Amino acid sequence: MQPSFEQQLINKKVKPTAMRLLVLEILNKELNAISLSDLVAKFEYAEKSTLFRTLKTFEEKRLIHRIDDGSGIVKYALCNNECDDIHEDEHIHFVCTQCKNTICLNEVKLPTIELPNNFTLKNLQITAKGICNKCNS
């Protein structure tokens, strides 16, 4: 059984304010990664800066991860249950060229990358582009 939204925040040492609980609820409902603009559109009275700070806090505490899907707009998605405190976003992000949604494909793992000596990998993201299952139906 998945912990409550409040417990999820407490587990990551994030104070469960009303706004944080609402944002976490929306992120849990979304099947696709969402941008700050998407989030702002869902809240009639929330300040954009408050929502941005909430996303940054969630990212720092590894509740969500940031996605650069090549669109020029940063998107965010919940970390899966296996995400530990050493955050490595080890899955492919799929961008549908028809509906423009970005989807985390948690079941598709990234390949191991062997770098030459004196190279240090800090981040690896692979974005696949094509037509998603909904648009293919």
CATH code, 10: 1.10.10.10
Sign of the torsion formed by the C-alpha atoms of 110, 102, 65 and 116: positive
DSSP element (H, E) containing 111? none
Q: What's 49's DSSP letter?
A: H
**pLDDT tens digits, the chain, 137 residues: what are they?**
677 999 999 999 999 999 999 999 999 999 899 999 999 999 988 999 999 999 999 999 999 999 988 889 999 999 876 565 444 567 889 999 999 999 988 888 778 888 999 998 877 788 899 999 999 99
**Structural tokens at position 27:** 């992120």
104 annotated as ligand-binding:
no
Is 79 a known ligand-binding residue?
Answer: no
pLDDT of amino acid 94: 92
96 is in an annotated binding site: yes
Alpha-carbon 137 to chain mean position: 25
Task: Show the DSSP H helices in the chain as ranges.
Answer: 5-11, 18-29, 36-42, 48-60, 133-136
How far apart CA 116 and CA 61 sit, in angstroms, is 31
| 99 marked ligand binding residue | yes
Residue 35 belongs to domain spanning: 5-136
CA distance 114 to 116: 7
Give per-residue burial for 49-73: e unless 16+ CB within 10 Å, then b. Answer: eebeebbebbbebebbbebebeeee
Whole-structure pTM value: 0.81
Domain count, the chain: 1
